[in-house]
Structure formats: C-alpha cells, structure tokens
Structure 1
C-alpha cells in the first residue's frame, strides 16, 4: 500500500521523536522546510531531516494518520548511556596508581575511602571515560574474594550510565536480571548505583550509574 518513501519516512519520524501526524501537521500548515529540518536535526543529520521532508511530501494526510495509528508505541522509561568506567581490582593501589600516573602519564585522582562499598578508589582520567582502581577497605571488602582468586588483580566490573536508574531496576527485574541490592546505593561519584549479577550479564559484573 505504501511506497518505499513512506517506509523511509516512518524511520525518520521515529528518529526525530515526532509523530507522523505532527510532521504532517507542519507540512499541511506550510511550515518552511528549514523549520521542519531544524525541529528534526536534534536527533538526526540535516540530510536525514531533508529526506524526511521529501518523504513526507509524498504522503497524504490519511496515509500518515494510518501509519501513525499502526506504529508500535514504546513504553520504555529509561535509556542506556555510555561506559562511565572500567574497574580494576589491585592488591597494591599505590603501585597501580604509579603505573598510570608516572609511567603512562595519565591524570589520576587521590585515593578515597568508600566505606559503604568496602573499597578504596582511585580514578584514572581517559578522555570521556575512566579506569577505577579498587583496593579492599576493611575485613569484609566485597573485592577481597576476587583478589584471593586473582593475586595480581584484574578487571572487576564495568560501569554503564543510565538516565533513570529506578526505572532501569524495575525493568531489569521484570526481565529476570538479578540485582545485587534491592535499592540503589550512592557510588564513588555521589550518584546512585546498582550492580547486576554477572551470571545474568555474560559473566561480567555490571554496574549501572545514574547520569
């Protein structure tokens, strides 16, 4: 029933986060192409916005309304972001810090105690991401068992940002992903964090951090 141009139109309408009906409204009310492109370019390239407008011109209002009514509606209330840091457990945090600071020339933070998590942390700045160095704090540190099995240390977990950690936790629970705590805790950056069970994440301990 619909041409390839209408299929392209649907894709770009989704990318622009405007409904098909809204975009049709802009066109029917003779909004300049430049305005529609500006509206759309916050989620797509200017070329993509122009393709969207060209596809829109080939649809009648009734076609656009039909497409809009049949589009699946997303109910997801959270989104995953970038990797915030990769954490490495080390039996000697001063030696590990020296490697990154004095040998590799990276910018590193001071060592900070995180008593709620049972670790000392040092952050190594690497552009828009970081390496977190972990060392046990206290007799019941959660990383001590890891270091007992890995005498030289190693990668402990990865931390990924999310835009709504509470909704992420609810959603992941409903999908049978086990969380290591019932509530998010305040992490090293002063933001809520939660850990996901490694057996449900391809063998990797995953930390989610509120953006």
Structure 2
C-alpha cells in the first residue's frame, strides 16, 4: 500500500462563515466550495484553498461545523471552543487495500468505510494509533473538480 498526497487538513469550527472570513482576510484563501451539509456524518462542510507565493493552488482546508446536536464534532468543540485542527487527510489509490493494510498493522479503524465530502470512499484511523492525530484515509478522487 502506498500513501498518496496530503489532500486536506480538517479544521473544526463553531462557525464556517466566521472561519471563511478569517482565512480569506488573514491568509488570502479562496472558497473552493460553498458550505454544504453532510447530515450522514453530522457536519456542515466548506473547502478553502490557501494560496502559495507563486500563485498556484496551495493547501486545502476543510472547515467542519456541527450539523446538529448529535454531531461528532460537538465533543471536539466542547474541548476546543474556538475550534482547531481536527484531522489530516491522505489519499490512497485503493481504499479497500488501504483498509486491509492498516488492519493488518493492528491500527484501529473508526467505523465503516463511507463516502466523504469529496464524494469518494473514506475511513478514519484512531488517533491513539497515529501518534495522537485523527487521520482520514480517502480514495483519490478520479477528477479533481474543486472538492
């Protein structure tokens, strides 16, 4: 199994609108996708892109806000009321092979493989098995159409 590129950094926020303004006004970020709901994951999502000095696309940041009171993000925000880094997301070519690889290493996978915000299969690895960092593994999108 070969790990691909870092796709995005997930940032939990109590307000996507305020976070968009922050990244735009302080870092020159542009909105890639308008906020949209992922009720099956309990979150509202928006992707922003941070520019590079050369003007090329930079790093995508996934802003995640709770969708409702049962959102899994609520626990994170209870401990970090201002929000903060929630997860890293890496691409893989074959999600099933990656899952088998990590399971073979004894890594704990949180829940079933499901469709993520990019419309491709994802799963999460337990932070205790990943040096304290919640890690999302995502099948590489077939077409990079923005999000």
TM-score range, shorter chain: 0.7 to 0.9
The aligned counterpart of 1:192 is 121
The answer for unaligned runs of 5 or more in structure 2 is 51-56, 141-147
The residue that corresponds to 1:132 in the other structure is 62
Q: Which residue of 2 aligns with 1:118?
A: 42
Q: Based on CA coordinates, which of the two structures has the bigger radius of gyration?
A: 1
Matched, 1:164 2:126: no
* Aligned with 2:28 (options 101, 105, 119): 105
Moved over 6 A (4+): none
Q: Is the 8 A contact 1:79 1:164 kept in 2?
A: no
Q: Give the Cα–Cα distance (whole angstroms) in 1 for the partners of residues 22 and 82 of structure 2.
A: 14
User: CA 1:104–1:128 in structure 2 vs 1: closer, same or farther (change >3 Å)?
Assistant: closer
For residue 97 of structure 2, give the secondary structure of its aligned residue in structure 1: helix
Q: What is the aligned length?
A: 133
1:150 aligns with 2:80: yes
State the superposition RMSD in angstroms. 1.1
- Once residues 89 and 192 of structure 1 are traced to their aligned partners in structure 2, the CA distance between those partners, rounded to angstroms, is 21
Shift of 1:101: 2.2
Larger relative contact order, structure 1 or 2 (CA cutoff 8 Å, min sep 6): 2
Q: TM-score, normalised by structure 1?
A: 0.61
TM (norm. structure 2) is 0.86
CA contact (8 A) 1:195 1:206 kept: yes
Q: Distance in 2 between matches of 1:106 and 1:199?
A: 32
User: Partner residue of 2:144?
Assistant: none
1:107: Cα distance to partner? 1.1
Name the structure where helix makes up a greater proportion of residues: 1
